Structure 1
Amino acid sequence: MSQMAPILPLYIAQLGVEGVGEIARWSGIVFGCNFISLAIFSPIWGRLADRYGRKPMILRASCWLGVIMIGMAFAQSVWHLVALRLMQGCLSGFQAAVVPLIAQETPKEHSGWAMGMFFSAQVTGGLLGPLLGGFLAECIGIRQSFLLIGALCLLGCLALTRVRETHRPVKQTASVGLRELFAALPHRGAIVGLFLTTLIMQFSLTCIQPILTVYVKELAPTTDHLAVIAGAVFSSAGFASMLFASRLGHISDRVGSNRVLPACLLLAGLVSIPQGFVTAPWQLALLRFVHGIAVAGLMPSINNLIRQLAPSSCMGRIYGFNQSFQFIGMFSGAFLGGHLAAFFGLRHMFFLVAILLLVDAIWCHRMERRG
């Protein structure tokens, strides 16, 4: 899926959108619009996962992703991309099923390591995807790249048929209403706080992603091999996350995810500031690498804390709601990021990201000290 990130602005330009500001604006819309439907449907798929099992939901979501990516290869206008991305979110919900499946199958004392390993696998794809996507876009063309993305999603669906689910949730608990569910949570305030942290974190991350290729184009001395350079910048953060996610997971199991989370937020906020002052793509790639180290501890820590705080009987729904906040943050970040970048300029977006992450780090640190 991450192959799409560096080639999406180029595809939008190929579909007839002109001007740096307009391309940045439409990149934000296309990149973020599916998060609307994901935010709506993720709790629904999480509830069904609690009722019928997580594996069927994983197979359904991965197959649907393959179909949608193949459809994007045949888009004739930017509005087709918007419609397909909205449809993508309606029947997706992959994370809303796979995260509670991993959490349910892992002992609590090793859940930090397990979430770190899952994140490592996830960002390994994030590492290879942009680099491969930029390379293939030059070799076989952008439309053919989307066909390949769809084929890889279907291949992933085939591989997931071998996954075994040994712990089945109690079916009756999925019928509990939303108000009763949250009223019965023993750590309701902490869980809602993690939801808000997820939203802020994803907003700050996706402010940058849709405009990163445009920013690299401004920094590059020549436009030759732009897709490859942008893919390398994207991949630098993923490479760092791949290397450090499992190690941060081990640290979380020892000292607690409640301490790792604010520390990673602090590092991500501080390293975002100089990204607005770089003058060459290699400088941006280096800073994105450090940023990737911080990101490696964010989502695994949040998922691990939810695993520790949420009852197993409704874990799928809780993770589904966390996914909703994640997708709301993704959409608002991608949508507003493109518009704010077109209005204020690309560099100012990094300063906004720094402020959000640092404020969130201070808030999480205060919550951790309160216990």
Structure 2
Amino acid sequence: MKIWKRNLLVCWLGAFVTALGLSQIAPIMPLYIKQLGIHDISTIEQISGVAFGVTFVVLAIFSPIWGYAADKIGRKPMLLRASIGMSIVISTMGLAQNIYQLIGLRMLQGVVAGYSTACMTLIATQTEKEHSGWALGVLSTASISGSLLGPLIGGYLDEIFGLQFTFFFTGILMLIVFILTLIFVKEDFIKSDKKVLSTKEVWKQLPDCHLIIVLFATSFILQLAFYSIEPIITVYISQLSRSSAHIALISGMAFSASGLASIIAAPRLGKLSDKIGPQKVMLASLIIAGLIFIPQAFVKNSWQLIILRFSLGFVTAGLAPSINTLVKKITPEALTGRMFGFNMSAFYLGTFSGSLLGGQIASYFGMKYVFFITSALLLLNGLLVYEKICKKLDSNTAAPLKEHMV
């Protein structure tokens, strides 16, 4: 087996376990906060939001830092650092005595995390160019798969062993990831003795910094679109259903539908991007996704919503791999980790902003407007991608950039 394929397999398992562990914790956070001595429901909701969001804010700050470190000392050390760091920090959450310790540990988790970012950088720089879109598409399914199974496993473990065990179990999983990475991931990395470039100097070395900014904006909008809907799905389904029976089950199906579709579609769309160009897949995905959001505001029952969510996941599966492929192709290899770090910052900020935005729009204007505004953002992003990326890459004036992307 080729080295890049073996590394892809290990990174897939590591990213899967990382997402599995993190998604196990999110559903039990309110229950754990209550166990730590907070009993007022509104206070629990507020603290849960802070505890959930603070990790993504800190991740957004530290992702470029770890991206730089990956370019300077290698990607494998970053994989080892993130896996062992999360193993220790998440396990320690199970020993928290109050909410301040819990929030502090969630912040520390944001500092030490970054396994998926290092995985993308490693696979992007090692994979043969004609297979890079497919490889990044496959890698993107790991996080989706882990996020789908995590809440189910976390709820099951909570029922049998209690809340604290979930943190310890996640810590053990991350320790296993550390061991697998240490033994099986191979990287021939040549350390650079060049001076540390400032962010301004990094941008000057890019063949087209405006194109990179559009890609980062697309990453932000993609996550914002998904997470703006997450807070209102359960409430929306309760309005669509005639009875209160099975609301939780149907909501879970609606949550999982888009993820399941993405698992099926991501490798295929990644392979398609290798053939026709990632910018074309990205443009089509943004336009179709923007259109699919509109009928979600007019569904008459839960099953219509689930079908549309599945269709949405099938379409948007091509976005993240296409963005990552373009970032890789237009970035000098010495700066790949740093650019992926900035891109992940955009992802994390989109996640945090979407979670806040969706609830606020629903509260002030009504739930249907969440779908309308999200649709408008995706379509406007599609127009931006067409004007700033597709036209530029397809025009004869982009010859220097095209040469860099070959």
Which interval holds the TM-score relative to the shorter structure?
Answer: 0.7 to 0.9
Question: Within 5 A, what are the aligned runs for 1:205-220?
Answer: 205-216=226-237, 219=240
State the match for 2:224 in structure 1: 203
The answer to whether 1:178 aligns with 2:199 is yes
The answer to whether 1:121 aligns with 2:142 is yes
Q: 1:294 to 1:24 in 2, by over 3 A?
A: farther
Q: What whole-Å deviation, never above 9, does each CA across 1:211-264 have from its counterpart, x for those lacking one? A: 4445455556336683x5443332222111111110001100000000000111
- Provide the aligned C-alpha RMSD in A: 2.8
Q: More displaced, 275-284 or 101-110?
A: 275-284
Which 4+ stretches in 1 moved above 6 angstroms?
Answer: none
State the match for 1:254 in structure 2: 275
Instruction: Pick the aligned partner of 2:109 from 88, 93, 118.
Output: 88
Q: 1:77 to 1:181 in 2, by over 3 A?
A: same
State the match for 2:214 in structure 1: 193
The answer to whether the Cα contact below 8 Å between 1:124 and 1:242 also exists between their aligned partners in 2 is yes
Q: What whole-Å deviation, never above 9, does each CA across 1:306-358 have from its counterpart, x for those lacking one? A: 11100101111111111122222222222333444444444432322212111
Instruction: Pick the aligned partner of 1:363 from 384, 387, 406.
Output: 384
State the match for 2:330 in structure 1: 309
Q: 1:216 to 1:243 in 2, by over 3 A?
A: same
Q: What whole-Å deviation, never above 9, does each CA across 1:146-200 have from its counterpart, x for those lacking one? A: 4433332332222222333333144234612221111121122211221121122
Which amino acid letter does the alignment assign opposite residue 37 of structure 1?
V
Separation of aligned partners in 2, 1:179 and 1:313:
15
Give, in angstroms, the shift of residue 140 of structure 1: 4.7
Separation of aligned partners in 1, 2:88 and 2:332:
35
Separation of aligned partners in 1, 2:30 and 2:237:
12
State the match for 2:356 in structure 1: 335
The answer to whether 1:2 aligns with 2:23 is yes
Percent identity between matched residues is 41
The answer to whether 1:294 aligns with 2:288 is no
State the match for 1:61 in structure 2: 82
Count of aligned pairs: 368
Q: 1:79 to 1:123 in 2, by over 3 A?
A: same
Output the TM-score relative to the length of structure 2. 0.80
Separation of aligned partners in 1, 2:343 and 2:195:
17
Q: More displaced, 6-15 or 256-265?
A: 6-15
Output the TM-score relative to the length of structure 1. 0.87
Instruction: Pick the aligned partner of 1:18 from 41, 46, 55.
Output: 41
Unaligned runs of 5+ in 1: none
State the match for 1:349 in structure 2: 370
State the match for 2:174 in structure 1: 153
Q: 1:254 to 1:222 in 2, by over 3 A?
A: same
Give, in angstroms, the shift of residue 131 of structure 1: 3.5
**Matched position secondary structure for 1:171:** coil
**Matched position secondary structure for 1:207:** helix
Instruction: Pick the aligned partner of 1:222 from 244, 248, 273.
Output: 244
Q: 1:79 to 1:236 in 2, by over 3 A?
A: farther
Larger Rg computed on CA atoms: 2
Separation of aligned partners in 2, 1:43 and 1:319:
8
Give, in angstroms, the shift of residue 5 of structure 1: 4.4
Which amino acid letter does the alignment assign opposite residue 322 of structure 2?
S
Separation of aligned partners in 2, 1:36 and 1:346:
26
